[in-house]
Chains A and B, each alone.
Chain A
Amino acid sequence: MIVRISGEGQYRLDDGERDRINELENAVVAIVEGGHQDGFADAFGALLGYVRDHGEVLADDDIETSEVIIPPADLTFQEAGRDFTGEGLVPD
């Protein structure tokens, strides 16, 4: 599977990693939905770190579509709350 970290690049991961990535992501979402900033940076960092550690960086001239797109690494807790719950990044 291909995973993109927005603003950073694309990674190729084994399809078997899908569940683990899902878990890590759900942990981030739970924190954002709880509305408490504590632990957000760690949880989001863990998700990004996992993709970087277990993925193989795609070459720049590789043209692939990503299955998963993770927000940029400098996403703040406030942005996560505002952009990824409720109204969303782009108003519908």
Chain B
Amino acid sequence: MKLLLCLFLAATLAQASAFDEAAFGVHLNGWHRDGSARYSLNGSNYRTLKPIKTTDTNGNTVLRVTVLHAANSWAEVPFDLEVTTAPDGTLQGTRISGSPRGQKLDTGLISPPSPPEAAAPSKDPASAATEKARPSDPISEMKSALFASFDSKIATAAETKDTRKRDLLARIAGPEPIDATAISAGLRYNLDLLLGGSAMPSK
């Protein structure tokens, strides 16, 4: 079991470390000359900026994409999505950060759960059943934890007082709507692509 999990993680992460920007762009309707891709998902419009790859102080590779949700005809709500991998290709974690309506939002680096230690076979049938029921996909667990954190934080941020400077036209038009569901869906879609999923958005 432990071996399988390690192999699964390494395979996923090898994909992330050998990142194919062009293929990523194809799944987002292609890159425009302004360095972004435009696409729709379930009636919501998004832009994703070209990924930027950096190396952190620990030598890990950080792949960051900015996903912008079109809140209305003139406002976009941007979030940074980061995938961090170790030099050997092991996934270290994912992170979402942004500042909706001027409120800092950061999920912090959410790491995949470590594989369970190999334990002696239990004689207790109830314990064995629990072991069997435990989710076996650490990537899914990591994504669940990431978006659980994100969803709670964005709900708080959207309700907090806007501290940004607002010009005359912004005051007349009012603040941009924060559609947490649509933003979350856009980020999930991009994360799935970064971690190796594939789907085609509508144009």
Decide whether A and B are members of one complex. no
Residue ranges of A at the interface with B (Cβ–Cβ < 8 Å): none
